[in-house]
């Protein structure tokens, strides 16, 4: 390819929530920004996580130079072990993001062979033709950065996830000055977060949750159980401070909560007063009005700590009447059913459950609303603009927002979807060809457990129509059937209602055997297909259902 072409290649996260990953290519050099995962839709039965298809990177493995991470949320780093299992790349991340990734790599026994590099906001690194500056931004997780990637053709700004918080709890302000300086010098392309483009105004500061939390601490007469995203270190800090003020000890429940607090504390990002922590086994013996429980599981995940507590299945802690449970988190669309099922269980145990939108809020978003996205566009003033991170409706709205501003210098906006490339050269920018992209389904969270589409289709088939097992005993000497075939079914029809149907099905199988030649009867593969086809036709005609049919042939 020509040396003077720059390509932006979205591998995930455009036109969908999660799986954020983008490749930048100049000549024969490629860098990858983020490698995220997403949780599966309801129809992906038995799948644990979904990651991008990294085929394009594998096909160009000799050109891929590095993986750069913007922050530590799973939708940006969750696929890192799976990408590094295919390509042994150097990884660049801030200290907190690196520590979260290290835990993931440890789980997959990959830490020793991975090249991890720590960077700080304000630092610059050079990788081939790319010079990358890390710019501090505020988000719902600490140590988030935007990237200014200087290429021979110009500067690309990739915002990562952000909101412009004027009063962050750690007083680490959003670095607007650096972004404005790039804007003055000239930016070729802006890639900007679109998650909250349909929310008018500004996203509230993290400090906005403090008044509501103070009110809850003041009126809680017994144990206070607060669930929040374990990565929300700012929120954890406020809860720990309020617990200290109200004379409460703090217990941590849930593996992710323990891991993240340990990492944040060791890096000096979370300050925990001496003597305030309480062991999980000491929660119940301690006076109820002297305990705060910080717990993970805000989305009703089946095996999370809060879900187990809700059904009284936690070894160290039981909810009792009068306890207050606070869901200091957003209900992610699609998770309403498991969350409200969990809330119902908590309410049955006599807990006062606080959740949902209220004023002052118990949760604020980590993504910028429409006015912040306008501010980003006006500061950076790019020549070209492509919205990222969101479904198509959000990308389209963000593109329209940029066109509406009509600031000087904006030549064009591009709505890209995953797999569509954007090509920039001396003449300008245009959409290029498509690259191979898709979703890879992972079962059990291990590198090797990739779930094929066929497996998911079979699982869906089983869940909807059940299965039927015709069992045929064939004499290997004569090729004849020994007695009438047996039929076992599960999830298809009840034994009482289906007795006559299954009897008829046996006759269909017997007839198929009778009408087959002696040669066919000695070829199990042929017989299985013939029985499957005839039985499928019969059952579809009789019941209008299509169970999974798996003939079993026994040699006797």
Catalytic residues: 193, 367
Residue 63 DSSP label? G
Tell me the C-alpha distance between 194 and 393, whole Å: 10
DSSP-derived pairing of the beta strands 428-434 and 6-12: unpaired
Residue 336 CB contacts under 8 Å (≥ 6 apart), including other chains: none
CA angle in degrees (0–180, nearest 5) for 180-183-188: 150
Helix H or strand E segment including 191: strand 187-193
State how far the Cα of 362 lies from the Cα of 214, in Å rounded to an integer: 10
Maximum alpha-carbon separation in the chain: 88
Number of CB atoms found within 10 A of residue 245's CB: 10
Distance of alpha carbon 214 from alpha carbon 219, whole angstroms: 9
Q: Which long-range contacts (CB under 8 A, 24 or more apart) does 337-344 make?
A: 337/300, 338/299, 338/300, 338/301, 338/302, 338/307, 339/298, 339/299, 339/300, 340/300, 341/300, 342/297, 342/300, 342/306, 342/307, 342/310
Q: What angle do CA 501, 507, 510 make, to 5 degrees?
A: 145
Say how far apart CA 107 and CA 129 lie, in whole Å. 34
**Sequential DSSP letters for 367-402:** S--HHHHHHHHHHH-EEEEEEESB-HHHHHHHHHHH
d(CA 191, CA 385): 6
DSSP codes, 102-160:
HHHHHHTT-GGG-EEEE--TT-EEEETTEEEEEEEEB-SSSSEEEEEEEETTEEEEE--
Contact 194, 389 (CB under 8 A): yes
305, 346 contact by CB (below 8 A) = no
Half-sphere exposure of 204 (CA within 13 A, CB side): 15
């Amino acid at each position: 390819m020509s040396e003077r072409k720059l390509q932006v290649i979205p591998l995930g996260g455009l036109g969908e929530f999660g799986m954020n990953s983008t490749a930048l290519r100049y000549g024969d050099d490629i860098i990858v920004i983020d490698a995220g995962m997403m949780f599966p839709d309801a129809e992906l039965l038995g799948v644990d996580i979904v990651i991008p298809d990294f085929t394009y990177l594998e096909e160009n493995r000799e050109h891929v130079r590095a993986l750069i991470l913007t922050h530590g949320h799973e939708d940006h780093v969750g696929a890192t072990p799976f990408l590094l299992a295919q390509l042994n790349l150097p990884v660049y991340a801030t200290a907190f993001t690196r520590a979260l990734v290290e835990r993931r790599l440890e789980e997959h026994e990959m830490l020793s062979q991975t090249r991890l590099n720590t960077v700080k906001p304000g630092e610059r690194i050079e990788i081939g033709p790319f010079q990358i500056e890390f710019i501090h931004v505020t988000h719902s997780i600490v140590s988030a950065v935007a990237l200014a990637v200087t290429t021979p053709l110009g500067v690309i700004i990739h915002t990562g996830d952000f909101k412009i918080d004027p009063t962050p709890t750690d007083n680490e302000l959003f670095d607007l000055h650096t972004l404005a300086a790039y804007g003055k010098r000239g930016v070729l392309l802006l890639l900007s977060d679109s998650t909250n483009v349909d929310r008018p105004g500004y996203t509230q500061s993290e400090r906005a949750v403090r008044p509501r939390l103070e009110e809850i601490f003041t009126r809680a007469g017994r144990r206070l159980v607060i669930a929040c995203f374990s990565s929300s270190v700012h929120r954890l800090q406020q809860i720990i401070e309020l617990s200290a003020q109200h004379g409460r000890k703090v217990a941590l429940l849930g593996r992710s909560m323990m891991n993240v607090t340990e990492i944040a504390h060791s890096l000096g990002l979370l300050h925990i007063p001496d003597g305030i922590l309480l062991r999980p086994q000491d929660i119940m013996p301690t006076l109820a009005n002297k305990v705060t429980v910080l717990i993970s599981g805000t989305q009703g995940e089946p095996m999370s700590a809060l879900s187990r507590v809700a059904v009284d299945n936690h070894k160290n802690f039981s909810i009792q009447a009068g306890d207050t449970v606070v869901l200091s988190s957003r209900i992610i669309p699609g998770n309403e059913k498991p969350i409200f099922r969990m809330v119902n269980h908590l309410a049955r145990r006599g807990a006062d459950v606080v959740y949902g939108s209220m004023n002052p809020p118990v949760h604020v978003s980590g993504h910028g609303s429409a006015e912040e996205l306008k501010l980003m566009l006006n500061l950076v003033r790019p020549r070209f603009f492509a919205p990222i991170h969101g479904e198509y409706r959000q990308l389209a709205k963000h593109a329209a927002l940029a066109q509406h501003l009509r600031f000087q210098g904006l030549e064009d906006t591009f709505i890209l979807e995953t797999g569509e490339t954007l090509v920039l050269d001396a003449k300008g920018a245009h959409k290029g060809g498509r690259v191979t992209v898709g979703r890879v389904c992972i079962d059990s969270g291990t590198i090797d457990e990739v779930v094929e589409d066929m497996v998911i289709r079979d699982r869906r088939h089983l869940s909807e129509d059940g299965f039927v097992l015709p069992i045929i005993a064939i004499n290997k000497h004569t090729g004849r059937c020994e007695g009438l075939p047996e039929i076992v079914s599960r999830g298809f029809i009840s034994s009482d209602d289906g007795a006559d149907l299954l009897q008829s099905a046996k006759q269909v199988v017997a007839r198929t055997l009778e009408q087959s030649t002696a040669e066919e009867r000695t070829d199990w593969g042929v017989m299985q297909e013939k029985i499957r086809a005839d039985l499928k036709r019969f059952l579809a005609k009789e019941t209008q259902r299509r169970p999974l049919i798996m003939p079993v042939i026994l040699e006797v």
